[in-house]
Amino acid sequence: METLKLDLICGEKSEKIAKAAEILKNEGIVAIPTETVYGLAASAYSDEAVAKVFIAKGRPQDNPLIVHISNIDMLSEVACDIPEKAYKCAEKFWPGPFTMVLKKNTSVCDSVSRGLDTVAVRMPSHVTARAIIESAGIPLAAPSANLSGCPSPTNAYHVINDLDGKIDAIIIDDECQVGVESTVITLAGDTPRLLRPGAVTVEQLREILPDIEIDEAVLAEPTSDVVASPGMKYKHYSPKTTVYLVEGDSDRFADFVNSKKNSAAICFKEDKNINIPYIVYGSECDEGSLAHNVFSVLRDIDKENYSDVYVHAPSKTGVGLAVYNRLIRAAAFKVIKL
């Protein structure tokens, strides 16, 4: 299949957005930018379109998709029995990098939620994403636009690398601002629960949901096959180079990595005295910068033939928790504490 490239950086935008919307209405699949990562969109009302997403990505069959909406009226089209606290969260965190799991409305295909009676819903803030949903006039199911298991795509070239020839179209736009996927919480049970950390932080969530619990799979390897969010049990975000996550201060990190042969480091700009090849992924004091770059550096590391890469672990506070959550999965839970 030839993948149509709809370039919004040069030329007229509205025609290309209308073209993407037309493809989506006709049950095609299109990679679109969002503020978190690039998404691979399909109509949430079409089993046929949703099936194409699973095939293109090689996504595990039990891993449900997030449905994207562009205005609050669409929420009751995709979810039902919506609790008051969901509206409070929507008011505070939407549009933005925040997803709520709610009871599913029957209008959404069962193939989106993979047989669960719940649906994950997000309203993105990205202007292009919103314009495409508005123009298509339907909610869009959209996982990250990468091959399953690979680092998530934060620019159009990452998407081209993974999915060119496998999907109908790719919107070419600027790189994604946040860089990690949305925060996911569930409000479908008795107590609110964080399933995946993101740019909306635990600290912010506690202001609206003081009783929110953090699912154990956020920071550890799930011990059972039955998890609240099926995506959490898979090895994720991994480059071909073997990743190790290393916790420790700057001096210990440098001493540790300097003894490693045929290896590289991914470190903070504050790290000093590293004598092996390294890539800086941001500032230790600015977790947002680490989130913005983490997937991109995991892809860059594969351009050389190192056997291993040692990543300096961020703090687990603020957006750092989201970065840590992605990195332990990229490392297949191999954490070295110095």
Residue 19: what are its φ and ψ, rounded to 5°? Answer: -65, -45
Q: Is 67 helix (H, G, I), strand (E, B) or coil?
A: strand
Q: How far is the CB of 37 from ligand AMP (least distance, A)?
A: 8
Structure tokens, 165: 């020839």
Task: Report the DSSP beta bridge partners of residue 245.
Answer: 311, 335
Number of alpha carbons in the 13 Å side-chain half-sphere of residue 216: 6
Instruction: Report the alpha-carbon distance of residue 294 to residue 152 in Å, rounded.
Output: 9
Q: Name residues whose C-beta falls within 8 Å of residue 274's C-beta, 6 or more positions apart in sequence.
A: 253, 254, 257, 258, 265, 267
Among residues 45, 53, 54, 64, which is the contact residue for ligand AMP, using CB under 6 A? 64
Cite the beta strand spans of the chain per DSSP E.
4-7, 30-32, 39-43, 66-68, 79-80, 98-104, 118-122, 140-141, 169-172, 183-186, 193-196, 213-214, 242-247, 263-267, 278-280, 308-312, 335-337
239 binds ligand AMP (CB under 6 A): no
CB 243 within 8 A of CB 297: no
Residues 76-105 close enough to bind ligand AMP by CB under 6 A: 101
CB 50 within 8 A of CB 112: yes
Among residues 8, 50, 119, 167, which is the contact residue for ligand AMP, using CB under 6 A? 119
Q: Is 144 helix (H, G, I), strand (E, B) or coil?
A: strand
Among residues 99, 113, 118, 144, which is the contact residue for Mg ion, using CB under 5 A? 144
Instruction: Report the alpha-carbon distance of residue 57 to residue 159 in Å, rounded.
Output: 11
Contact of residue 116 among Mg ion, ligand AMP, none (CB under 5-8 Å per partner type): ligand AMP
263 binds ligand AMP (CB under 6 A): no
Among residues 116, 212, 214, 335, which is the contact residue for ligand AMP, using CB under 6 A? 116
* Choice between 217 and 265, CB closer to ligand AMP: 217
Q: How far is the CB of 275 from ligand AMP (least distance, A)?
A: 37
Q: How far is the CB of 288 from Mg ion (least distance, A)?
A: 20
Residue 318 Cα distances to 89, 163, 183, 187, 205, angstroms: 18, 32, 12, 21, 11
229 binds ligand AMP (CB under 6 A): yes
Instruction: Report the alpha-carbon distance of residue 178 to residue 289 in Å, rounded.
Output: 9
Residue count at the site for Mg ion (CB under 5 A)? Answer: 1
* Choice between 28 and 39, CB closer to Mg ion: 39
296 binds Mg ion (CB under 5 A): no
Q: How far is the CB of 133 from Mg ion (least distance, A)?
A: 19
* Choice between 37 and 49, CB closer to Mg ion: 37
Q: How far is the CB of 19 from Mg ion (least distance, A)?
A: 25
Among residues 66, 89, 322, 328, which is the contact residue for ligand AMP, using CB under 6 A? 66
- Region near ligand AMP per CB under 6 A, out of 114-122, 164-172, 308-316, 323-331: 114-122
The residue at minimum Cβ distance from Mg ion is: 144
162 binds ligand AMP (CB under 6 A): no
**Which residues are near ligand AMP by CB under 6 A?**
63-66, 101, 113, 116, 118-120, 143-144, 181, 184, 195-196, 229-232
